[in-house]
A and B are shown apart, each in its own frame.
Chain A
């Protein structure tokens, strides 16, 4: 059995997650071996998924943790060890 490109596209996400049934996976693999377009779509999607998961994409703003601590201290009184925004307060 041979599958067309547009069918392969429907399987790309599950293929990356390795959640396709063995038989379907084999069909997709066989198609990928000779189709440079579908191979490029798979490679680019995998590459984008990897880049998306990188910690550098969304950085915490400077001082986030300190401001959170101060808010926690103010609202729920999580203790005297919390840094204060202005020590002179």
Chain B
């Protein structure tokens, strides 16, 4: 399909990117916070991908390549808007420091049906949004997009070791923030009513 698009059959481009619309938008939204900015970043990323399509050689998966373009677009937009200091995007994780998880004596499984509730979806979106960009990127690629550790490393141009360290810290931060809140929600409602 890519070959025929490059040969001039641009009609097919939307068919090519359609399966990735949600992934690209999610990635953009987690950085931009605002729905309309996120949509604009997503559109720009798809346009850039079209213009760079000849550079796509197929060593990486198309989704990985597309997500990398989206990440760069979102980072560039934030920098231009002056919302994020350069250092916070480029900082290295403090590998020596530990993040203690929320301590619980038991955990009652929150079923995925809980996500039918806006309150629960918002909790998750906020927790991801509250992570610094460094950690948000890995969570989005690995846990939201379900990239492998290796694919995440390729998309972020970092080592698999760094992916693991950042992922560990990000997951612990998510657990620390979300576990007590989700536990409260599950105690307030009886899940089987949904």
Contacts and interface: CB of A to CB of B under 8 A. Distances in A.
Contacts, number: 148
A34 interface: no
B114 A51 contact: yes
Interface stretch (B42-50, B54-62, B85-93): B42-50
Chain A: number of interface residues, binned into ranges: 35 or more
A64 B172 contact: no
Contacts of B50: 72, 76
A21 to B, nearest CB: 13
* A-side interface mostly: helix
A43 B105 CA distance: 11
Contacts of A19: 149, 164
* B-side interface mostly: helix
Contacts of B100: 6, 9
Among B18, B42, B51, B120, chain A packs the most CB atoms within 10 A around the CB of B42
A29 interface: no
Given A41-B103, A52-B124, A79-B10, A13 B168 contact: yes
Contact of B98 (A10, A53, A76): A10
B25 A45 contact: no
Given A14-B164, A75-B47, A68 B149 contact: no
B75 interface: no
Given A9-B100, A60-B25, A47 B107 contact: yes
A76 B11 contact: no
A57 B168 CA distance: 21
5 contacts: A37-B104, A52-B124, A53-B144, A57-B115, A71-B47
